[in-house]
């Protein structure tokens, strides 16, 4: 009985590791996702990744990483091919000055790791400025006018 239980635990563990290993790996998306991407970005060939997001990491998304006009971008789609987000890195000089003043005032010792412009499926634009806080990466999120919205701690 103990051996059977141990075998089941090992199989479940191996299955979980294999499933987690697939996240972040290049894959082929469903046809609906590919069609949606090609409609928005014709003649662009992306590298696809499968990511689980949401509060409990149960929402399957497909991320298309690509370069357009010399800019590295990521377009994110649901498993049904519904566009969610387009994001790409920008220079800190492209971030609203009000956002940069907020960071300098409230986080003067924290180094900026990355600055990203994000457009969601309702054309709402935000800026996410990655900074390190207590050894962990966080994103300070701002409106396109530079108004602070929230601080989001990253899992990675």
Q: Tell me how far apart the alpha carbons of residues 60 and 33 are, in angstroms, rounded to a whole number.
A: 12
Q: Provide φ and ψ at 33, rounded to 5°.
A: -70, -45
Q: Is residue 103 part of a domain?
A: yes
- Cα(first)–Cα(last) distance of the chain, in Å? 39
Number of domains the chain contains:
1
Domain ranges, residue 154: 90-156
**Structure token pair of residue 133:** 């806080």
Q: Provide φ and ψ at 155, rounded to 5°.
A: -75, -30
Q: Is residue 133 part of a domain?
A: yes
**pLDDT tens string 102-123:** 999 999 999 999 999 999 999 9
pLDDT level of residue 23 (50, 70, 90 thresholds): low
Q: Is residue 94 part of a domain?
A: yes
Q: Is residue 146 part of a domain?
A: yes
**pLDDT tens string 39-74:** 999 999 999 999 998 888 889 999 999 999 999 999
Q: Which CATH number belongs to the domain containing residue 154 in this structure?
A: 3.10.450.360
Q: What is the pTM of this model?
A: 0.77
């Amino acid at each position: 009985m103990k051996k059977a239980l141990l075998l089941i635990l090992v199989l479940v563990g191996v299955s979980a590791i294999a499933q987690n290993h697939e996240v972040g790996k290049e894959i082929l998306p469903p046809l609906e996702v590919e069609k949606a991407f090609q409609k928005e970005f014709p003649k662009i060939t992306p590298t696809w990744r499968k990511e689980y997001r949401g509060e409990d990491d149960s929402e399957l998304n497909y991320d298309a990483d690509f370069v357009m006009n010399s800019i590295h971008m990521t377009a994110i789609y649901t498993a049904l091919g519904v566009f969610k987000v387009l994001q790409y890195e920008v220079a800190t000089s492209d971030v609203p000055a009000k956002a940069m003043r907020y960071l300098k005032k409230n986080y003067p010792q924290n180094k900026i790791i990355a600055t990203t412009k994000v457009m969601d499926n309702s054309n709402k634009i935000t800026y996410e400025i990655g900074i390190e806080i207590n050894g962990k990466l966080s994103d300070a999120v701002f409106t396109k006018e530079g108004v602070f919205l929230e601080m989001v701690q990253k899992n990675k």
